[in-house]
Amino acid sequence: MILKSFGKNGQVSQVTLCLLKTKHCIPLTVIDLECQSAHGLSTEQREFQKVAFDFAANEMTPYMAEWDEKEIFPVETMRKAAQLGFGGIYVQPEVGGSGLSRLDTSVIFEALSTGCASTTAYISIHNMCNWMIDTYGNIEQREKFCPELCTMNKFASYCLTEPGSGSDAASLITTAKLEGDHYVLNGSKAFISGGGDTDVYVVMCRTGGKGAKGISCVVVEKGTPGLSFGKKEKKVGWNSQPTRAVIFEDCLVPVTNRLGQEGQGFNIAMSGLNGGRINIASCSLGAAHACVQLARDHLLVRKQFGETLSNNQFLQFKLAEMATKLVASRLLVREAALALQEGRSDAVSLCSMAKLFVTDECFNICNQALQMHGGYGYLKDYAVQQFVRDIRVHQILEGMNTPCSP
């Protein structure tokens, strides 16, 4: 087998694997990774994908290392993305969203993630919160919050996890006591993406009794007295988004900020997460796509034992395997997206399966790509390690791949 290379160094857009005829007559097959990712998409979806790939290559790839190293929350870049419609991709147009489908969204996040997985993951969280307000909010709430979230004039955070409740989300203890026309919030949320730098907090809190049925969802705005933040966490990856604890101390939130009914909060949270899981899986896909390209590039350049690594059969097989798992992962994510947008009965399980399978497989692909870089893969001068670090957390959040539930 011979591995051939295509594309410039750096911003490569294509991987081609050639399996030539051997004496065992394996037929000639050429796979172009970027063309592959466009297969089965409509003309519009290909256009969306093209814009997202271009944006990623021009506005994100050149900066992802700096954002990671200096822990920069790239507000201006995200606002540029919002100008293209990426701030509320599946939010209704009448409140400023792009009104696209879940599959459209997955395609977009997958492409954007090739530029910076961490920033794209935050953009997807922002989108999820925006959608929750758009879907469960009344007209006043939607008109108040969604337009500014769609333009990313304001940023959003999703607040469910607490120090004492991760996988066991329904056991959360942040309370919201009704007093007149306000809820008084007390408690704290942990690991909140964007926390402290964002403006709109979608918070799940306990208004009623124990369990899921006692949970409501309220929108808390930055600057509300009683709302404060913990220190910025130091993370292995996702460094282009700040992560902080969000603390409520007698924080007064108007009842008019409650989304939906009392007791509906847990359902709202979980339904947001269905889409969130597809989005996170899509981010993992993009990272894996980028890493397969990076690995391919490296194999063509690095020489050992008198020839380029690309002539090494083990590495050829490995790369082909990685490409195969990438395509398989993509198919599962896109099927889950279709199921969700069509309201199929298997949508929830598919979303969870997609998240589980894809985040695991794609992490392995990225990790394998790092391995193929040898010692260089461990250096921060090479992008592959950032993708590995950034998507490692996708196996943990938005539904732990290895939950401890009984």
Partner 1 sequence: MSRVLVGVKRVIDYAVKVRVKPDHSGVVTDGVKHSMNPFCEIAVEEAVKLKEKKLFKEVVAVSCGPAQATETIRTALAMGCDRGIHVEVTGKDYESLGPLQVSKIFAALAKKEEASLVILGKQAIDDDCNQTGQMTAALLDWPQGTFASEVEIEGDKVKVVREIDGGLETIKINMPAVVTADLRLNTPRYATLPNIMKAKKKKIANMKPADLGVDIVSRLEVLRVDEPPTRLAGVKVETVDDLVAKLKESGTI
Residues at the site binding partner 1, with contacts judged by CB under 8 A: 5-8, 11-14, 30, 32, 34-35, 43-44, 46-48, 50-51, 54-55, 83-86, 89, 93, 98-100
- Report, in Å, the least distance between residue 356 CB and partner 1: 29
Number of other residues whose CB lies within 10 A of the CB of residue 406: 4
CB 87 within 8 A of CB 149: yes
CA gap 385, 164 in Å, rounded: 31
Residues 230-236: contacts with CB under 8 Å, at least 24 apart: 230/188, 230/195, 232/71, 232/196, 233/191, 235/393, 236/389, 236/392, 236/393
- Report, in Å, the least distance between residue 230 CB and partner 1: 36
**φ, ψ dihedrals at 221, nearest 5°:** -95, 145
- Report, in Å, the least distance between residue 44 CB and partner 1: 6
**φ, ψ dihedrals at 389, nearest 5°:** -65, -40
Q: Give the residue with the Cβ less far from partner 1, 99 or 254.
A: 99
CA gap 244, 228 in Å, rounded: 10
Question: Annotated catalytic residue: which of 34, 59, 361, 398?
Answer: 398
398 included as an active-site residue: yes
CA gap 177, 187 in Å, rounded: 12
Bridge-partner residues for 254, per DSSP? Answer: 182
Q: With the CA atoms of 312, 316, 317 and 322 taken in that order, what torsion angle do they form, in degrees rounded to the nearest 10?
A: 140
Terminal Cα-to-Cα distance of the chain (whole angstroms): 48
- Report, in Å, the least distance between residue 85 CB and partner 1: 3
Q: Give the residue with the Cβ less far from partner 1, 14 or 175.
A: 14
- Report, in Å, the least distance between residue 123 CB and partner 1: 13
Q: Give the residue with the Cβ less far from partner 1, 99 or 263.
A: 99
CA gap 228, 135 in Å, rounded: 27
- Report, in Å, the least distance between residue 60 CB and partner 1: 13
Nearest to 123 by CA among 159, 85, 160, 92: 85
CA gap 362, 287 in Å, rounded: 8
Q: Give the residue with the Cβ less far from partner 1, 4 or 210.
A: 4
Q: What Cα–Cα distance (Å) separates residue 51 from each residue in 54, 56, 108, 110?
A: 5, 8, 8, 12
Q: What Cα–Cα distance (Å) separates residue 399 from each residue in 54, 205, 338?
A: 31, 18, 20
Q: Give the residue with the Cβ less far from partner 1, 84 or 353.
A: 84
- Report, in Å, the least distance between residue 205 CB and partner 1: 33
Q: Give the residue with the Cβ less far from partner 1, 46 or 213.
A: 46
Q: Give the residue with the Cβ less far from partner 1, 65 or 84.
A: 84
Q: Which residues are catalytic?
A: 398
